[in-house]
């Protein structure tokens, strides 16, 4: 049994589509960081995306926990030409594509970006590797909204649209356990 504690990075306060851009997190809420740190298992292994908003959040909660190198495959969705643009602007430019991307996630992709199925395959592969290398451990994975939802989708065995119905707040924890032949889901979007 391997338990995953999927932590969404601290807030960026961006009002645009932020995927692979390296925007820092606001980690000034020291009380929230302390509650998150206290909630997580003291002996868990910590890993994060290589984007600074996740890596810095991981550093803020690491304490004496062992740390693995940042992993680029734990990055957020690659939004391509939609990156750092407000959704209203994207929707005005191509309403059909914008609607299809969120309403029917799968193979639809933003121009020069990544499909939902592509994100899911990328994240599944790294999570599988982490579970194989750390079976029986608690793993704290500090990542992004899309990354966490891929694993919610996987563990609940639901379609992407159902996975998108879950809210994933900044500095929240989503608990998923791998039992070898099956998955179980604890709390989703828990704010300690």
**Owner of token pair 């005005």:** 92
C-alpha span between 118 and 126 (Å, rounded) = 13
Q: For residue 104, what pLDDT band results from cuts at 50, 70 and 90?
A: confident
The CATH fold assigned to 2-185 is Rossmann fold (3.40.50)
pLDDT tens readout for residues 126-180: 999 999 999 999 999 999 999 999 999 999 999 998 998 999 999 999 999 999 9
Cα distances (Å, whole numbers) of residue 76 to 53, 93, 192: 11, 23, 23
Residue 105, phi-psi category: left (phi > 0), alpha (psi -120 to 50), beta (remainder): beta
pLDDT tens readout for residues 31-50: 999 999 999 999 999 999 99
Residue 162 phi/psi, 5-degree rounding, is -65, -35
What are the structure tokens assigned to 133, written together? 């290398």
- For the chain, the three-class secondary structure string (H helix, E strand, C coil) is CEEEEEEECCCCCCCCCCCCCCCCCCCCCHHHHHHHHHHCCCCCEEEEECCHHHHHHHHHHHCCCCECCCEHHHCCCCCHHHCCCCHHHHHHHCHHHHHHHHHCCCCCCCCCCCCHHHHHHHHHHHHHHHHHHCCCCEEEEEECHHHHHHHHHHHHCCCHHHHCCCCCCCCCEEEEEECCCCEEECCCCECC
pLDDT tens readout for residues 36-85: 999 999 999 999 999 999 999 999 999 999 999 999 999 999 999 999 99
* Contact partners, residue 30, CB within 8 Å, separation at least 6: none
Domain ranges of the chain: 2-185
Mean pLDDT confidence for 8-33: 96
């Amino acid at each position: 049994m391997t338990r995953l504690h999927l932590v969404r990075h601290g807030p960026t306060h961006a009002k645009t589509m932020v995927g692979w851009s390296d925007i820092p997190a606001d980690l000034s809420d020291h009380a929230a960081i302390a509650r998150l740190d206290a909630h997580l298992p003291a002996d868990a292994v910590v890993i994060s995306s290589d984007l600074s908003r996740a890596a810095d959040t991981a550093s803020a909660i690491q304490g004496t926990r062992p740390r693995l190198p940042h992993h680029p495959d734990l990055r957020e969705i690659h939004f391509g030409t939609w990156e750092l643009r407000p959704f209203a602007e994207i929707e005005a430019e191509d309403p059909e594509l914008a609607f299809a991307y969120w309403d029917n996630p799968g193979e639809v992709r933003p121009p020069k970006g990544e499909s939902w199925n592509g994100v899911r395959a990328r994240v599944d592969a790294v999570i599988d590797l982490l579970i194989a290398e750390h079976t029986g451990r608690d793993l704290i994975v500090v990542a992004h909204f899309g990354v966490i939802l891929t694993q919610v989708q996987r563990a609940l065995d639901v379609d992407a649209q159902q996975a998108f119905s879950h809210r994933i707040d900044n500095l929240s924890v989503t608990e998923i356990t791998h039992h070898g032949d099956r998955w179980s889901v604890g709390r989703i979007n828990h704010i300690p």
